[in-house]
Amino acid sequence: MYLHSATSHGMTWNDGEVLARGFDHKSIFENLDENGLTWKSYFQEVPGTVFFKYLRRRPALGNLHHYSVFKEHAAAGTLPTYSFIDPRYFDTPEYPENDDHPHGGGVTEGQWLYKDVYEILRASPAWENTALLITYDEHGGFFDHVPTPVEDIPNPDGIIGEDPDFAFDRYGWVFCSLYPTNQPINSLGVRVPALLISPWVPKGLVINKPDGKT
């Protein structure tokens, strides 16, 4: 939700009923359409982008394709301005999850997905004008030595989440065996890694400061 629309619209957990009803608020896909930019969402299993009602209707619905079509479009050099790859979230013996969560089949399948996407793009005639961005929605419990901001953290849309009440600011309440009950922790989120892979990026470049300096 944050990736596509910069807000979860007040939702604090994966409520299946709420997700099934869908959301009306604007996403990046509407912004792209309004600005005349092409886009497609390629899914391997279930297109999570249909949580947005906008993508359930035509013509936006026509931009949802299976991952196999991504390979075809890349090979033909016809990828849109913006492409989103939706991995497999569910784990089955025949098709293990590859969304890089450590449970289920572990992270191996997710790493193979990155490798596959990378090789597909490198072989595309559009590679010289392509940027592949890989990012995460959580940090996986790894240690981070840099604290996130504490003050003046804006709520993305003014909506307060419920159960528990959560303003999407610096602090929230966690109910977890790792912390005492009702212990406030950093809910703005820890930093997550992001990989930017492109012919335009210098080899070995690492950016680890907010101002973009190395």
Task: Tell whether 59 is covered by a domain.
Answer: yes
| CA separation, residue 204 to residues 145, 193, 196, 210 (Å) | 22, 15, 11, 18
- Tell me the pLDDT of the chain (214 aa) as tens digits: 888 998 888 888 888 899 999 999 999 999 999 999 999 999 999 899 999 999 999 999 999 999 999 999 999 999 999 999 999 988 888 888 888 876 655 788 889 999 999 999 999 999 999 999 998 877 666 666 776 666 777 788 888 888 767 777 755 544 444 444 444 444 566 677 789 999 999 988 888 776 666 6
Check if the beta carbon of residue 84 is closer than 8 Å to that of residue 41.
yes
Phi, psi dihedrals of residue 134, rounded to the nearest 5°: -115, 125
Provide the whole-model pTM: 0.84
Q: In the chain, how many domains are there?
A: 1
* Alpha-carbon torsion, ordered 120, 123, 125, 130, to 10 deg: 60
203: in domain: no
Q: Is residue 177 part of a domain?
A: no
Domain assignment present for residue 184? The answer is no
Domain that holds residue 119: 2-160+193-197
Q: Where are the alpha helices (DSSP H) in the chain?
A: 2-5, 16-21, 28-34, 67-76, 108-122
In a domain, 29, yes or no: yes
Report how many helices (DSSP H) and strands (DSSP E) the chain contains, helices first.
5, 7
Is 125 inside any structural domain? yes
Q: Residue 198: how many CB atoms within 10 A of its CB? A: 13
Q: Retrieve residue 152's tokens.
A: 């003046």
Separation between Cα atoms, residue 95 and residue 111, nearest integer Å: 15
- Using one digit for the tens of pLDDT, what is the confidence trace for 172-198? 544 444 444 444 444 566 677 789 999
The vertex-211 CA angle with 207 and 212, nearest 5°, equals 30
Q: Length of the chain, please? A: 214
